[in-house]
Structure 1
Amino acid sequence: MEFDVIGLGEETQLVYTALVGLPRSTAAELAEACGTGTGSAARTLTELVRRGLAVRTTGRPARYTAGAPDVTVAELIQEGQRQLDSARALAQRLAERHREALRIGDPDIAVELLTGHENISAAVRRLTDDARHQVRAFDRPPYVDRPGSNLEEQRRRQRSGVLHRVVYDRAAVAWPGRLRDDILPSVRAGEQARTRSELPLKMVIADDRAAIIPFSLAPGGTSAAHLVHRSPMLAALQALFEAEWDRAVPVLDTASPPDAGANAPDADTLALVRLLAAGCTDAAVARTQGWSQRTTQRRIQRLLSELGATTRFQAAAQAALRGWLG
């Protein structure tokens, strides 16, 4: 029956359901309505009173009335949820202890498999919170947590002296609201950010100690991940990050003034060239600047013409030569 999940047995549910429609009933009346013995009904009613699902009036014979189901049953559901949360937290702690015991027993183990979004999110938080020198990351969809949800934690780490270097995939920069609400605030707080048109994988590296990479970038692939400890594999991931970092384009705060003397562009032009250098699409530029799609395309064409460029890459290169990119 439906209330089995909150610990109500079949007979208890039967008596409670009858009591909801028969307020101020005696045990004998409910026994007759349910087709059960009076003694059995009385014991069930006592249990319902104990669990807060019914109230008992004084006097003889005792009469019972069901509590409001939308209140009393909801409280039992919430209590069950709390118990489930406690059990889940215990399972996570035991899983961590199990993984640690395996690593101690076999110090050569280099890669651990993490499963479940909550476990992966918790592992990423532990990895980054334990960083003492720097956090390096490849950022691209798909995401386990909402992009930007860790902004305050990152700011706290940066204030404590932990360097953050992040390479963003173009799809991450184009994610609705991501540039304005997360990436640029992170840059202003001290993050060193760069962009690439496409990254080969998602990754977080804490110091030279460990990294987390997803099992797959395919749909559903974020439900499993690999935790990579010190090993040749971790060294390879670090080398991959540095290679992509060297090829990436810096993300600069679009609000910062250029240092280009008399040739300094206006604020809108500066913002546009820096967004294009960051790999933003027309749609992402329009969202960030609050322009229409047509206005965005018109401004891009005017910028290309002003810089004597035929492609966005050439425009970024010319802007860099003029000192527009800082």
Structure 2
Amino acid sequence: MGCGGPSFALVYLTLLIFSVTAYGLNNVLIGHMARSHDLLWVVTARGVFLGMIMLPLLLVADRQALQGDILLSVLPFLALACVAALGANLCQTFAVRHLPMAIAVAIGQALAALATLLLELSVGNGMPHMAELLAVSGVVAGVVILGWISGRDQPRVASAKPLWGVAAAAGFAICMASALVPLGVVSRSADPFFAAWGWEAGIGLCGLLALSLRQWHRPRPIMPPRIMLKVGLCASPTVIGTGAYTYATTLGSITVAGGVLSAMMVATAIFARILFREMLRPSQWMAIAATCTCLVLLGLAQRWWG
């Protein structure tokens, strides 16, 4: 962990707790909106709002890294990341329509970690250590158990189809892993602040383009501005979560931070219970806790032996 002793460690962990809490609250609020409104409109309104509120990030971005040649070279990667992230968000919001919010987040996060690991291996990062394989096996087992338990549950509402929710959570993982790789190229080649802003704003822009095409092909009712603003406010905890997480990584290990961040699935379950009385069975809580633990162990194994 970073220098500064116990005080820095306390600040580091406090920031991570803030981040986990904010992301968990965002998952629940956006999930609630997705259950009652058009998915594409919800995802688009979220991206547009975050793109606007995160504009100040460009003031602290490296001006030299945003010059014409560099910017043009990374735009294709940013576009790919935004399109993939739009797909990931649509899959995630679809999953929460058919699964308890915490289950959808847990399955999606766990599979995203596995998909990212597979992508890293495919680009020649070498074979994983035995400890990594054991942690991966635990994550896979947790996902299988969560999917099996949830698939046998009675649907939350009559129209819910749990197995469709599990499939959508898997789609989220594939799309998110596909988004993070090109986003990493943008962060390293240009500027991480520009990448963070461009990613969220780009999701909103891609959503607007998709909405335009859909309206041209098959017109649907437009989301009222009042609902758009409500979606934006529901997404606002993301700003706190991202800010706290980003600052925490300057004080301590990125790997440990990523492992702690996996606890957002637990925060999601708690907020879903408090705000919307969404119940989980003890077996589901145990599966979430086991999956979260294996994700933390996977992050630590990648740090020590990766």
TM over 0.5: no
Give the TM-score taking structure 2 as reference length.
Answer: 0.23
Bigger radius of gyration, 1 or 2? 1
More RCO (CA 8 Å, sep 6+): 2
Q: Which structure has the highest helix share of the two? A: 2
